[in-house]
Chain A
Amino acid sequence: DVKVTQSSRYLVKRTGEKVFLECVQDMDHENMFWYRQDPGLGLRLIYFSYDVKMKEKGDIPEGYSVSREKKERFSLILESASTNQTSMYLCASSLGLAGTKTQYFGPGTRLLVL
């Protein structure tokens, strides 16, 4: 079975802290994605990666960075957390270099920044 795991289900951090969110997939997928989900706004793409060490900005990259050192792992980094980054963060992966491919999602990390 396809599996995408995220390092934490819930996180509480303080303003200004550096935050790492980890995502691992076991399907040998080329593409990996980070979204944030907010009520009334749906899913918004933060960053995606189509290969190791490759990354592309999504719709809302400001305040975030990413790292992909291994094919199976994609990390989202909040360099200096702020309260407006309180959200649900979803990681996803897909096989093949096409926008028509199914994305497989992790369970999400609910982040609260105080």
Chain B
Amino acid sequence: GDSVTQMEGPVTLSEEAFLTINCTYTATGYPSLFWYVQYPGEGLQLLLKATKADDKGSNKGFEATYRKETTSFHLEKGSVQVSDSAVYFCALGVDSGAGSYQLTFGKGTKLSVIP
């Protein structure tokens, strides 16, 4: 079945450091890929998405490129801020017929940014 593997945290970085959170996937069909973010005490919100190979999703300084050859969708940001402290989830969704409306999530990576 479909699955998502993301690097386990927690990850602690100093402000202005470079961030990479690795995400790889296995899927049948042609998945769309997502990064969701969960700030403390809140639900998840979409950070960025990519719907086909070589697409780059970007938002709030974060970006991720859909790499079909390595089945990866790594999240990067050049300079993190304290306000980026959150849990980040990689997810995939596949159009594979009736009933296939769900997303498959990774286990989440907790990021803490210290001043």
Contacts and interface: CB of A to CB of B under 8 A. Distances in A.
Interface of A: 4, 31, 33, 40-43, 45, 48, 50, 56, 58, 90, 92, 94, 97-108
A33 B95 CA distance: 17
Contacts, number: 67
Q: Which 7 A-B pairs have the closest CB atoms?
A: A105-B43, A99-B93, A100-B32, A42-B107, A105-B44, A43-B105, A100-B93
A74 to B, nearest CB: 13
B101 A97 contact: yes
B5 to A, nearest CB: 11
Contact of B102 (A48, A102, A104, A105): A48
B95 A42 contact: no
Nearest to A45: B102
Contacts of A43: 44, 89, 105, 108
A50 B51 CA distance: 22
